[in-house]
Structure 1
């Protein structure tokens, strides 16, 4: 599963595009990169490219300003889906688009604006109904940003450290429920010295994701937002140590 990493530059808008080709030979970001270099650009202008099978490929480094919407590249992220005709885009592509945009939205406190290239240029790009696919309001904000996955129950989490990994639920951006609330409590306690002070609302959004990454770095763990068994054990052990 692809995981979005928030860049250090300021971003306020994510622009959506299509590649204007249904040719299977063009279904790869390397092809777009070659096209853009042929125009004299330094490389592909989009930050992400979504293939017909739903694979999310990275293009221009996310920390660099893209080249995909004239006059609007600064402060933006560019996503391109391979395709030309509306009925030939796939559900796999749309599922990946929703997941990627959900991660981006969460990373920016559910305040990211999503727009189509057609809104500022005289072209039908993207040709699919991106507002419907992402569930956007009339200003381009996701109406229901919380994932529709079933809430993770608190009963799945042990109160003390053990090595039975089957009892530790995996959590990620977009999850919700009592398990996320318990995670937020543990993050607040373990990260108090780092200034972590999360709202315990049971919603795994951008602030919770950043707190997870900060704590994982502190304990020399891989700094992704995903919470797996050893992360739970680390947080619960830290809580037990403070209480001793």
Structure 2
């Protein structure tokens, strides 16, 4: 039932269903006989499931295998399967995972992240379950921030001005701040100003109060859809750039 491909040849195909989170797992076995997605399939069928719950399985040699069809909702994180992708790496003890596995994981996750406008959230099963799965430091392997988003490599972020983002007449520079629901402060105020400017044609008219609440989140989602960006409320560097460019275009 599985389709096996060499890591270098694997290409992720974005499913038609909505996806916002990729969940990471380990198989809880170091037995070489279990190093195949067909074993996971048999285990999950024994539980009464229709088949393997993971969409991808990464063998110890780095081979990426497909499990459950990507267009089908997985069965790998109770209560969080809708809107998600499941990836499992063969292994139990942290020191027995291989460089080949982690490299394949990074390549696969880079493809997934790119398919979703660099806004895919990557999380470990242990964040929502009473288990140490996956047992390896997936945040370090993938270079994730505290919320599960891939941190841009050093040097890729363009500097913006602190007091007004961007204020090209100011000398103080900082990186584009990453914003999400619950954040507060001057950066949120500037975001709300940009949303009002760029989204005026859509009827967006936010109160500029510096509080990233539900209305601000919805405005972000609506505008990101308008500009073909993946519709989550998270605001990262390329979202800032899009909004700033839209504001400048309207002012011209």
Normalised TM-score (structure 1): 0.60
The alpha-carbon deviation at position 144 of structure 1 amounts to 2.3
Residues 66 and 74 in structure 1, CA contact (< 8 A), matched pair in contact too: yes
Q: Mark the CA change 1:10 to 1:82 in structure 2 (over 3 Å): closer, same or farther.
A: same
1:97 and 2:105 matched: yes
Residues 54 and 96 in structure 1, CA contact (< 8 A), matched pair in contact too: yes
Paired with 1:145 and 1:125, the residues of 2 have a C-alpha distance of 26
Q: Tell me the residue number matched to 1:46.
A: 54
1:61 and 2:79 matched: no
Q: Tell me the residue number matched to 1:217.
A: none
How does 1:178-193 map onto structure 2 within 5 Å? none
Specify the SS of the correspondent of 1:61: coil
The alpha-carbon deviation at position 119 of structure 1 amounts to 0.2
Paired with 1:22 and 1:145, the residues of 2 have a C-alpha distance of 33
Paired with 1:2 and 1:126, the residues of 2 have a C-alpha distance of 22
Q: Tell me the residue number matched to 2:87.
A: 79
1:28 and 2:30 matched: no
Equivalent pairs counted in the alignment come to 150
Specify the SS of the correspondent of 2:33: helix
The alpha-carbon deviation at position 145 of structure 1 amounts to 6.6
Specify the SS of the correspondent of 2:23: strand
Q: Tell me the residue number matched to 2:142.
A: 134
Paired with 1:39 and 1:11, the residues of 2 have a C-alpha distance of 25
Paired with 1:36 and 1:140, the residues of 2 have a C-alpha distance of 27
Q: Mark the CA change 1:47 to 1:70 in structure 2 (over 3 Å): closer, same or farther.
A: same
Structure 2: give runs of 5+ residues left out of the alignment: 1-8, 157-226, 229-252
Specify the SS of the correspondent of 2:112: helix
Residues 48 and 78 in structure 1, CA contact (< 8 A), matched pair in contact too: yes
Paired with 2:19 and 2:120, the residues of 1 have a C-alpha distance of 8
The alpha-carbon deviation at position 33 of structure 1 amounts to 0.1
Specify the SS of the correspondent of 1:118: helix
Structure 1: give runs of 5+ residues left out of the alignment: 149-196, 199-244
